[in-house]
Structure 1
Amino acid sequence: MESAAGTADDSGNMPHKVVAVAAGEAHTLALSGDGYVYSWGRGMFGRLGTGSESDEIFPVRVKFQNSELKLIAVAAGAYHSLALADDGSVWSWGYNVYGQLGLHGENSLAPQLMERFLELGSPGQSKDELETKSKAPFKICAVKAGGMTSLAIDNLGALWMWGNYPQENNNGDGSLTFVSCFTPTPVWDFHGHTVVKVACGNEHVVALVSAGERHKGDDLLCYSWGGNGHGQLGLGDTESRARPEIVGTFSQDIQWTVYEVACGAFHTALLTRKKRPSDTLESMCWTFGLGDRGQLGHGTTRSALVPEPVKELPQPVYLVSVDCGLFHTSVVSSAGDVWSWGMEKGLGLCPDASFTGTDSGDAISPLRIHGPKFNDPVQVSCGAAHTVLVAHDGYKLWSWGRGRSGVLGNGKTVDCFSPTIVLWPPLNEDFKQEELNQDDKIVDQKGSDGVSEMEKKLSLAMEEMKLLQSKLSTMERYASILHGSIFGKPFEVQDIPISLQNSGTFDIAREWENMLESSDRSGLVRLELFYRNMLTGVKDKILKKRIQELIKECLPSSAQGK
């Protein structure tokens, strides 16, 4: 769908063209045609790579240590980000508690080079091949991320993983375990084959792998492994797998071949097309795993243990892209039609549906996203509760869903139930003012100092927004510390009480009762311990204060009695 880079008619516009996007929990990355990375949304943990934890409500350029670096791919996990350069180097930033940056140490607010890859050779190469100069040098060709996990594919088709990912237990019984790993580790199961695409959810991984040594047309097979409590591996049961197993639904004997894969928190989506030769260019979306929020699009909220087609999508249709949020799924067709299904709250999947008040409004079947005509679509990407679409051959971006922290990139922090335009190209030093004037046909009279009134106003507005963002970031960190102390986990937007989201008022007594009702036993025990310790501290402090008061009362009496 994307026009060739560097052609005579569009080479001058490559800085304005988006060739790829990636959405995390509450942030988005965009890769421009001239090899720069831009980010916006929530800045906590440094996931934006801007050098701070401040939120950004417009796209801002991510600065790398090497200013000459040309980036060719981006990936976003829940709270971390990855970028791949044309020289094969991998850069990472953001949250690093599980080692998902491939580095030892704390979270990183700016891109860091993953030096471990420079010391490694591909598991697809033998010792003799590594020593043969005629062989191509080891190089990473693709990066992917999801949840707390990072993945990469090298130039020989080998898969590497690091962070919190599924591994075989060392006790020898073949059971599954999750261990934090700061060093890229090869997946040896695909030796002799080529891993073409990969995706991962909170606990599971799905890979598209060549049937033979090299990828040839319609020969991709689908493998899955990891946690399988909801059937997200598509293997017909809920037993977890420590090693990859083939998803039998898409064996080489059927008429469909898989060409795209995406993972939600606990569900999986695949795109298949009819094998060549075929008279029609048509495709189908298949989903499996957890279905409680309608994220499978099967018209029900039941889970599926094996891949099932999303039957209510129109036929014939050719789908160019699919992605999954935590509990929703989106696809876009070659004609520019977008469908979404699953969780509504904070996302706005179904503006025409009949939901009111506290009704969840989940869409259990595909709903077409109404808005402008999305001509020449490139890609759809889903965050936890927002969706981003690249269309018009990469020159326009739309977003919708949860808007807090500026995650939609439209300069606002409110939720949008229908597509809103992302500010692209960004208003910063990388795009000359005269180019913007030509694109938008704005005639601006320059003052004697060469700076327009519009530029002055924009500068003042941006300074004010940055001040507000700084205050918001401080408050978010404060709330996160308190929330983590009480509940033992990072603060998320979904933790905001429903009453506060809907009405702006907060009945603390009612919300406290609701929280106690919804908490499991371990949660209640944690709360009891926390408040017992707090109460003990308060009682001790009251006692000390009272003793001090008594001493002060007695001291004057003692002095007078002398």
Structure 2
Amino acid sequence: MAKLVRKRKANGLVSEGNTTPGPAKRSKPSEHHSFESIRASRYKSINEKPQLNTTPLDVFVWGSGSMCELGLGPDAKTKEVKRPRLNPFLGKEDVRIVDFAVGGMHVLALDKDNNVWSWGTNDSAVLGRETTQTGDKGLKDMDADDDDDDEDGDLNEFESTPGKVEGLPKDVKIVKLAASDNLSVVLLENGHVWAWGTFRNNEGILGFSKSVKIQRTPVKIDVLEDIVSIVAGKDHILALDSKGWVYAWGNGQQYQLGRKILERSLMSSLEPRSFSLKNIKFIGSGEFHSFAITKDGKVLSWGLNQYGQCGIDMNIDDGAVVTKPTEIKELTGKNIVYITGGEHHSLAVSADGEVYTFGRYDMKEIGIEKDKLPIDNCITDDNGNVRCLPKPTKITTLPPIKTVTCGSHHSLAITKDGFVYSWGFADTYAVGLGNLDDDVEKPTRIDNTATKEHDIEIIGCGGQFSVSAGIKIEDEEKIEKRLDFIEEFEEEH
């Protein structure tokens, strides 16, 4: 996601990319589309259409928002929020949010009336709307002082304030959102995919398509049909269709597309293309690596693996990659239903709420305390310090979890009762635990006034910020019971 800048001395915050050779030039999009359609017709559907949440949620944001990521308006004091804060723009009667997706430095949010709202940095046109104009196109804070000239510098009003994305279909429901560092994607109820923005690689802007460098307004991706899920990495996208086929496009320099990318045919990676994966029920993504879960429960991964973030214990070194979808043997038989990743770490969740972690350790991304690490499964550096844990390992200090999310170097998990735990890189306040001197080793419950009585349903992490959304619990007895349960668990663990 977004590049991190540590306030104190730190080492190794630069992502090690690796440009690699790849495929021969492809056929024309229309021919490819025809071939895919014919092939797909031979297979039965195994995946159902996604069900959209329809209950309006309160949205909370926290972390570092110097690039307008928090959506709290232009006031300079909104650049740093150390604990979850209710976003006042997204709780109004005509802007009730039911879902969201978090990119590296921007957020997409869907409201109950099928409108998509966006905020954050708009350098790559990821907001899907104009942010340089004057006039009131966003949700301007009526109490803001227009004459405020904070010496720290106010933010761009139209990037820092949620505004409606322009040009999306009005007659078809949106059921899912995805956001990379430089691209925004929406999935419609009819299985069509729309997108805008661009992709970047090690050399800079790669482009949106073969003919478009930066797509400034939403457009339909014509070669995709019958899609049921979309997920985003740092600069690549995966899509899953109802037949269980996976499509990938964007930057493929680290094999995250599941295929080689030759320099001479680099632009072919901007066209969605299926590969060897079939009978897939779930897709997930890290920043430079990807995941899939098959119909029979096998967990596969591929892409950048220099910290073991693919869960494959092979050739763990700078620039190491897993070149094709490979089974994560350590997750076999664990009934994994969800898997995702950050820049150098990954998390998997089982059907009964167990969380397995693997990848980089030095910023405490994996959520296991040093004295509890399975040291025989760890890889150390030349000085004997733990570098990474490539073997998926259960986090024993978490209660049953319903979902997890990864930022570049921090993570969040929601318990079955709607509490949020966080761990990892702490300097940007993205863990939501206030001022801290050190990174957070073990999952720690976010306990603050704003979210204390909320059942959190959705979470998301950006490069240096986080977002959650939930429903306020009105039943006092329920509030007390869930608090008693979680405090008892924490005392025992």
The partner residue of 1:261 within 266, 283, 300 is 283
- The 3 A distance-change label for structure 1 pair 259 and 347 is farther
- The 3 A distance-change label for structure 1 pair 236 and 182 is closer
Q: Which amino acid aligns with 1:59?
A: P
Whether contact under 8 Å (2:187, 2:194) holds in the other structure is yes
Separation of aligned partners in 2, 1:228 and 1:437? 48
Shift of 1:435: 4.8
Between the two proteins, what is the percent identity of the paired residues?
25
The partner residue of 2:233 within 180, 193, 201 is 201
1:327-380 per-residue CA deviation (whole Å, 9 max, x = no partner) reads: 2211111222211212222134253146586836222221222313x22x2211
Shift of 1:316: 1.7
Q: Which residue of 2 aligns with 1:423?
A: 447
Asked if 1:232 is matched to 2:232, the reply is no
Shift of 1:79: 0.7
Separation of aligned partners in 2, 1:235 and 1:311? 21
Separation of aligned partners in 1, 2:185 and 2:209? 22
- The 3 A distance-change label for structure 1 pair 397 and 177 is farther
Separation of aligned partners in 1, 2:445 and 2:340? 20
Relative to the length of structure 2, the TM-score reads: 0.67
Q: Which residue of 2 aligns with 1:139?
A: 173
Asked if 1:96 is matched to 2:122, the reply is yes
Separation of aligned partners in 2, 1:24 and 1:392? 30
- The 3 A distance-change label for structure 1 pair 369 and 110 is same
Secondary structure, counterpart of 1:398 in structure 2: strand
Q: Which range is displaced more, 93-102 or 433-442?
A: 433-442
Q: Which residue of 2 aligns with 1:58?
A: 83
Secondary structure, counterpart of 2:295 in structure 1: strand
1:250-274 per-residue CA deviation (whole Å, 9 max, x = no partner) reads: 23xxxxx322222222211122232
Separation of aligned partners in 2, 1:221 and 1:93? 32
Higher helix share: 1
Shift of 1:247: 1.8
Secondary structure, counterpart of 2:160 in structure 1: strand
- The 3 A distance-change label for structure 1 pair 326 and 335 is same
Query: What is the aligned residue count?
Result: 365
Shift of 1:440: 8.0
Q: Which amino acid aligns with 2:220?
A: P
Shift of 1:428: 8.7
Secondary structure, counterpart of 1:404 in structure 2: coil
Separation of aligned partners in 1, 2:254 and 2:334? 29
Secondary structure, counterpart of 2:306 in structure 1: coil
Q: Which residue of 2 aligns with 1:453?
A: none
Secondary structure, counterpart of 1:298 in structure 2: coil
Secondary structure, counterpart of 1:312 in structure 2: helix
Q: List 4+ stretches of structure 1 deviating above 6 A.
A: 23-26, 428-434
1:67-126 per-residue CA deviation (whole Å, 9 max, x = no partner) reads: 113211111100111110121100011111111111122551121111322xx46xxxxx
Structure 2 residues not aligned, in runs of 5+: 5-52, 133-155, 202-207, 455-471, 484-493
Shift of 1:229: 1.6
Asked if 1:307 is matched to 2:307, the reply is no
Separation of aligned partners in 2, 1:83 and 1:36? 12
- The 3 A distance-change label for structure 1 pair 234 and 358 is same
Secondary structure, counterpart of 1:189 in structure 2: coil
Asked if 1:406 is matched to 2:429, the reply is yes
Separation of aligned partners in 1, 2:90 and 2:443? 35
The partner residue of 1:294 within 308, 314, 329 is 308
Asked if 1:247 is matched to 2:288, the reply is no
The partner residue of 1:109 within 125, 150, 160 is 160
Secondary structure, counterpart of 1:235 in structure 2: coil
- The 3 A distance-change label for structure 1 pair 66 and 230 is closer
CA RMSD of aligned residues (A): 3.3
Q: Which residue of 1 aligns with 2:364?
A: 347
Shift of 1:222: 0.5
Structure 1 residues not aligned, in runs of 5+: 1-22, 122-136, 168-173, 211-218, 252-256, 275-282, 443-562
1:456-479 per-residue CA deviation (whole Å, 9 max, x = no partner) reads: xxxxxxxxxxxxxxxxxxxxxxxx
Separation of aligned partners in 2, 1:263 and 1:146? 10
Whether contact under 8 Å (1:321, 1:378) holds in the other structure is no
Asked if 1:439 is matched to 2:480, the reply is yes
Secondary structure, counterpart of 1:220 in structure 2: coil
The structure with more radius of gyration: 1
> What pairs with 1:153-168 in structure 2 (closer than 5 Å)?
153-165=187-199
Whether contact under 8 Å (1:56, 1:405) holds in the other structure is no
Q: Which amino acid aligns with 2:229?
A: K
The partner residue of 2:216 within 182, 190, 194 is 182
Whether contact under 8 Å (2:104, 2:234) holds in the other structure is no
Whether contact under 8 Å (1:150, 1:163) holds in the other structure is yes
> What pairs with 1:142-541 in structure 2 (closer than 5 Å)?
142-165=176-199, 176=210, 179-190=213-224, 193-210=225-242, 219-235=243-259, 240=266, 241-248=269-276, 250-251=277-278, 257-274=279-296, 283-300=297-314, 301=316, 302-313=320-331, 315-349=332-366, 350=368, 351=370, 352=373, 353=375, 359=385, 361-372=387-398, 374-375=399-400, 377-393=401-417, 395-413=418-436, 414-423=438-447, 426=450, 435=476, 439=480
Whether contact under 8 Å (2:59, 2:91) holds in the other structure is no
Separation of aligned partners in 2, 1:36 and 1:56? 17
Shift of 1:392: 1.8
Separation of aligned partners in 2, 1:45 and 1:348? 23
- The 3 A distance-change label for structure 1 pair 32 and 189 is closer
Separation of aligned partners in 2, 1:287 and 1:295? 9
- The 3 A distance-change label for structure 1 pair 388 and 24 is farther
Whether contact under 8 Å (1:176, 1:226) holds in the other structure is no
Separation of aligned partners in 1, 2:479 and 2:249? 52
Secondary structure, counterpart of 1:405 in structure 2: coil
Q: Which residue of 1 aligns with 2:33?
A: none
Q: Which amino acid aligns with 2:425?
A: R
Q: Which amino acid aligns with 1:308?
A: T
